[in-house]
Amino acid sequence: MTKTELADNLNHLDPGATLTVQQNVLASLFDAGMLSKEAVAMIEAFALEHRCIFSFEYGKPSFTKEDIF
């Protein structure tokens, strides 16, 4: 997966829908060896650009599309 593909997937999510992405895939997309605080901050900003909320709970990173447009 590329950042462009991730962006397309996020843009096409229905409101309230969730997309889960593996940790290692996200880390590689954002040029990080692991999901550090800095990497998570970049991912959160990326998610907001695509009207999503990024969460990293129980070792599962996911994006949830905002319900409000």
pLDDT, residue 34, reads: 84
Are residues 7 and 48 in contact, defined by beta-carbon separation less than 8 angstroms?
no
Predicted confidence (pLDDT) per residue in 42-64, tens digit: 999 999 999 999 999 888 999 99
pLDDT, residue 54, reads: 97
pLDDT higher for 2 or 31? 2
State the Cα–Cα distance between residues 11 and 5, nearest whole angstrom: 10
Q: Please enumerate, as own/partner, the contacts of 42-50 that have beta carbons within 8 Å and a separation of 24 or more.
A: 46/3, 46/6, 46/7, 47/10, 50/7, 50/10, 50/11
Predicted confidence (pLDDT) per residue in 10-38, tens digit: 999 999 999 999 999 999 999 888 888 89
pLDDT, residue 43, reads: 96
